[in-house]
Structure 1
Amino acid sequence: MTRTWHVSTVTEAARARIATARLATAHGVPGVERTRLVTALTAQLRQCLTKGGPWRIGVEVTAARDGSGRFVVEVASAGNRAPDARPPWRVAAVVPGHGEASGAEYVADDAETLAEALFSADEDAALLLEKLDEQERLVAFHREELHQTNQGVLALHAELDAAGRAQRELFAAEQKAHAEAEQARGRLTFLADASAALTASLNHDAIVRILPELLVPRYARTVDVWLFDDEEDEQRRNQPHPAAAVLAARRGRPQYAADHPGGLPGVDDQPHSALQPTRPLLCIPLVTRGAPLGVLTLSPPEERWNADDAVMLIELTRRASIALENAKRFEHNRDIAETLQRALLTDLPTTPGLHLAARYLPATHGLNIGGDWYDAFRQPDGSLITVIGDVTGHGLHAAVMMSQLRTALRAYAVDGGSPGELLTHLHTFLHRLQPDLYATAVIARFHPDDPTLTWAAAGHPPPVLRTPDGQVHTLDAKPGAMLGIPLRQRISDHTVPLPPGSTLALYTDGLVERRAQGIDPGIRRLAAELGTFAPADLDRDLDGAADRLLQPLLDDSEHDDDVCLLLCHIHSDAARIREAVPSGTRV
């Protein structure tokens, strides 16, 4: 549908406006859209009347397939215009449903019609204002919602910030706890390693030397160990000590000397030391179950110690005290054992033409006392009995049993008897005296008028004989069983020629036996080393030969068992030496 009006005056413009409004209403243009369209048309008509000339107003309603349409208003010039005139002015509105509006475009030329059109325009304006009010209320509502949302966002940001701060604090606390745990683990590891180092030695001097090496520079700048019974170092014994160290020794409690409180648990605060006024000092007593041993005085690696370090240092000092006490007790027992061992070892007799050399080396671990022993004595017929033996076990019990065996052997030998008979008597004696204790032994008998060696063995490594021609023989004839086992046995004698220049080596298993190799390789090494000596060297210096023989066999410097060696050497000129000794003279 198309409608057209020609306008040149205000009245014609008003009629055209009213007709357009009626058509829009008739075609169902919504009120707000209709008001917007009519208002835009009114403004355009005012401009057209101002410019003058005839104008053409056209209204066209088009239909769409879905039943809706478009209400289009066009204003164009009705006269002849220049080619550069502006294009027609258009405004459009959507028509929800297409309908017919026949006769709606007629407008009567009277006041009533104009008034009605005016009121209709006011109604449209009122409707528009009402819509505007609704929009304002909607905007206010959304503004309030936005404000509430903003408040919520601000509150959420505040909560997130608080949660972030709490998370950062928790992370910092976790990091701090982790660092403290690492420090505690480091202290425990250090304490365990230091304790192992302290208890690894049974020498109190070594323990005193190792303390500064353990503590400096990690836990102390300087370390001073004051031992009350340090009799060897007179200078250290007479040097002045801080007053806090003296108080620690008297009270048996740690003392902290500084110009500020230490705040250390279990430690008494004292004024700074006059000997070291610029440094704090921690004086910890070395206390044992018996009596105090001394005082450990430390200066901090930095300004001061924290409480955990101080507790660890006090515990380390306690363990050092125990290590020192154990070392002193061990050294005391070792001195007793060495004195006893020296008392049990025999002074070798001198016999013209027969040289003897003996060596005894205690095990490198434990008390220096064991069951290895040697002896040499004469029988009434002038024979010389040499014996070497080994009592099972180690310590004072084995040493006492060894002493009893030596005494019993001398008692049995008074009435004579061959080496085999003497070992048989010792077997019976040991079995009846100590049923749970066993021993091994080798007895060799030398007679000045008989160039024959008589010997017998009971469970002991075989003797090694070096003949004057440099050959070395292992005397491994069938030995008897160990002494003391629950078995009746009669131990046999064995003989071998013994020309001048011969050397017999009696030894215990500690010399030749090694855990990784057994005993046979060690016996072969002993025989090989004995074969390297020249006869003149053995004639001249048998003691030196004994030392040189031990050196390559004990090259590992540590041995788990005692070592005993007895060398018996027939001088190459033994007959002349015996003849040079006056008859009836005992040498």
Structure 2
Amino acid sequence: MSRKRPPDEGDELLARLGSLTAQARERAELQRSRVELALALQRGMLPRDLPVAPGFRLAVQYAPACHGLNVGGDWYDAFTMPDGRIGLSIGDVQGHNIEATAFMGQVRVGLRALASVTGEPGELLARTNDLLLSLGNDLFATCTFMRLDPATGVLESARAGHIPCVWATADGKSGIAEDEGGPPLGVVAGIDYPVTRYRLTKGGVFVLLTDGVVEGPSLSVDEGLDQVVRLAGIAAVAGLAAGSLAAAVIKGAEQVGHEDDAAVLVVGHDGLLTQGAAGSGIGSGIGSGIGAGGERPRIQP
């Protein structure tokens, strides 16, 4: 025998279902608002314009993660320093939420502010690290900071737990930068970050990137970096614009197998060095001077 449900019981069930639906909609709207706020913070904190230097070209590509509720804290930056050299930074904050985005802004602003006090990359990272620790935040960030001297083509680099850069020359050589580096920012106080010097000569490129470009479930970091090395080598030999190389590298991020922030910053040298650089005696670096003796593309201090 079938049992008929009282009319008021059905009405109560519909009311409860409507209430649950409304709550779910409200939570979804709240989360969407948080994602939109984080994306707005990301856009507002990243530079709108890049520095211009004779003979050099800078190009960036940035793809923020917006899959579900993932909003990361990757950033890039490029600015003219008080002495006329160009500061370049790229990094990745732990986490994928609005807190990571806010912390990203603290790191980027801290680097810019302290660059007016010291432009030496190792000291700059050390001071930024101590500043972040003093704020008492539980997050940390990986970062690479470079200082480019347009007069000589010399790049000074310090790395805080970040993946290495990629280089390529117009004569067909390419590889992964071999610098020592130190721990991420915001982990341990009193850290020294070693500085490695490179020289970028005509036709050469340097590629700074975040791990969302080269690492994921479908691609190991070594495979991803090798892919960027190949792209950079082709671009340098073919004389492609820095913007074309940046676009090709960010396209490769689609192969990593997950949704994550991805940032690429390319430095290309398409002009002649000044006469002062020709007689600087710094030594061989990235460009026509490397490779003959199997040397690494680095300049000793």
* Aligned-partner SS, 1:370: coil
SS at match of 2:234: coil
Bigger drift between 428-437 and 374-383 goes to 428-437
Counterpart CA distance in 1 for 2:78 and 2:190 is 27
Whether the 8 Å CA contact 2:122–2:158 is kept in 1: the answer is: yes
Cα shift readout 1:412-454 (whole Å, capped 9, x = no counterpart) = 2113431111111112212222363322110111111113221
Are 2:23 and 1:322 aligned?
yes
1:365 and 2:60 are equivalent in the alignment: no
What is the SS of the residue equivalent to 1:428?
Answer: helix
Q: 2:160: which partner in 1?
A: 458
Q: How big is the shift at 1:499?
A: 0.7
Asked if the contact 2:213/2:252 (under 8 Å) is kept, the reply is no
Q: Which has the higher helix share?
A: 1
Structure 2 CA distance for aligned equivalents of residues 514 and 555 of structure 1: 8
Name the residue aligned to 1:339: 40
Per-residue deviation at 1:331? 2.7
Matching of residue 478 in structure 1 with residue 213 in structure 2: no
Q: Is the 8 A contact 1:338 1:368 kept in 2?
A: no
> Which whole-Å CA distance do the structure 2 matches of 1:390 and 1:546 have between them?
18
Work out the CA distance in 2 between the residues paired with 1:435 and 1:335.
Answer: 23
Matched, 1:490 2:192: yes
1:467 pairs with 2:169: yes
Q: In structure 2, list runs of 5 or more residues that go unmatched.
A: 276-301
Task: For 2:158, give the aligned amino acid.
Answer: A
What is the match of residue 563 of structure 1? 262
Superposed, which structure 2 residues align to 1:343-358 within 5 Å?
Answer: 343-347=44-48, 348-358=50-60
Determine the structure 1 residue equivalent to 2:243.
543
Partner Cα distance (2:85, 2:209) in 1:
21
Q: What is the aligned-residue RMSD (CA, Å)?
A: 2.9
1:43-62 paired onto structure 2 within 5 Å: none
Q: Alpha-carbon deviations, 1:382-413, whole Å to 9, x = none?
A: 11010111222232222222222222212221
Deviation at 1:335, TM superposition (A): 2.4
CA 1:469 to 1:318, structure 2 compared with 1: closer, same or farther past 3 Å?
A: farther
Q: Note if 1:444 corresponds to 2:153.
A: no
In 2, are the aligned partners of 1:535 and 1:572 still within 8 Å (CA)? no
- The higher radius of gyration belongs to 1
Residues in 2 aligned to 1:435 and 1:315: alpha-carbon distance in whole angstroms: 42
Give the conservation status (yes or no) of the 8 Å contact 2:168–2:206.
yes
Give the conservation status (yes or no) of the 8 Å contact 2:152–2:273.
no
Structure 1 regions of 5+ residues with no counterpart? Answer: 1-172, 181-262, 268-306, 577-587
Q: Per-residue deviation at 1:535?
A: 4.8
**Deviation, structure 1 residue 484:** 2.0
Deviation for aligned residue 1:338: 2.0
TM-score scaled by structure 1?
Answer: 0.43
Question: Is the 8 Å Cα contact of residues 387 and 441 (structure 1) preserved in structure 2?
Answer: yes
- Is the CA contact (8 Å cut-off) linking 1:506 and 1:567 kept in structure 2? yes
Q: Is the 8 A contact 2:90 2:145 kept in 1?
A: yes
- The aligned amino acid for 2:214 is V
Distance 1:368 1:337 in 2: 10
Could you tell me how far 1:494 is from its partner in structure 2?
0.4
Instruction: Note closer, same or farther for the CA distance 1:518–1:549 as it changes in structure 2 (3 Å cut).
Output: closer
Q: In the aligned structure 2, how far is the partner of 1:333 from the partner of 1:483? A: 26
Q: Give the letter for the 2:45 counterpart.
A: L
**1:388–1:442 contact (8 Å) kept in structure 2:** yes
Provide the C-alpha distance between the structure 1 equivalents of 2:45 and 2:192, rounded to a whole number of angstroms. Answer: 28
Deviations, residues 257-301 of structure 1 (Å, cap 9, x unaligned): xxxxxx98359xxxxxxxxxxxxxxxxxxxxxxxxxxxxxxxxxx
Q: Equivalent residues in 2 for 1:249-328 (5 A)? A: 265-266=7-8, 317-328=18-29
Q: CA deviation at 1:318?
A: 4.5
Deviations 1:28-76 (A, max 9, x none): xxxxxxxxxxxxxxxxxxxxxxxxxxxxxxxxxxxxxxxxxxxxxxxxx
Is residue 529 from structure 1 mapped to residue 231 from structure 2 by the alignment?
yes
Task: State the Cα deviation string for residues 170-228 of structure 1 (Å, max 9, x = none).
Answer: xxx5xx69xx9xxxxxxxxxxxxxxxxxxxxxxxxxxxxxxxxxxxxxxxxxxxxxxxx
1:334 partner letter: V
Provide the C-alpha distance between the structure 1 equivalents of 2:32 and 2:103, rounded to a whole number of angstroms: 23
Partner of 2:252: 552
Change (3 A) 1:311 1:543: farther
Residues 381 and 315 of structure 1: is their aligned pair in 2 closer, same or farther, counting only changes over 3 Å?
A: same
Cα distance in 1 for partners of 2:198, 2:235 equals: 21
The 8 Å contact of residues 526 and 553 in structure 1, kept in 2 or not, is answered as no
**1:479 Cα deviation from its structure 2 partner:** 1.0
Q: Percent identity?
A: 35
Structure 2 CA distance for partners of 1:353 and 1:367, relative to 1, 3 Å: farther
Q: Aligned equivalents of 2:214 and 2:182: distance in 1?
A: 20
Aligned residues: 274
1:500 lines up with 2:222 in the alignment: no
Q: Deviations over 1:90-134 (max 9, x none)?
A: xxxxxxxxxxxxxxxxxxxxxxxxxxxxxxxxxxxxxxxxxxxxx
Structure 1: how far apart are the matches of 2:245 and 2:188? 40
| Contact preservation (8 Å) 2:166, 2:176 | yes
Distance 1:368 1:338, change over 3 A: farther
Identify which of structures 1 and 2 has the higher relative contact order when contacts are C-alpha pairs closer than 8 Å and 6+ apart.
Answer: 2
Report Cα offsets for 1:463-496 as digits up to 9, x if no partner.
Answer: 1111112322211221112222235321111012
**In structure 2, C-alpha distance between the alignment counterparts of 1:559 and 1:516, rounded to whole Å:** 8
Relative to structure 1, the CA distance from residue 442 to residue 519 in structure 2 (aligned partners, 3 Å threshold; closer, same or farther) is same
| CA offset digits 1:512-554 (Å, max 9, x no partner) | 1214654222212222232232555533xx3343222222331
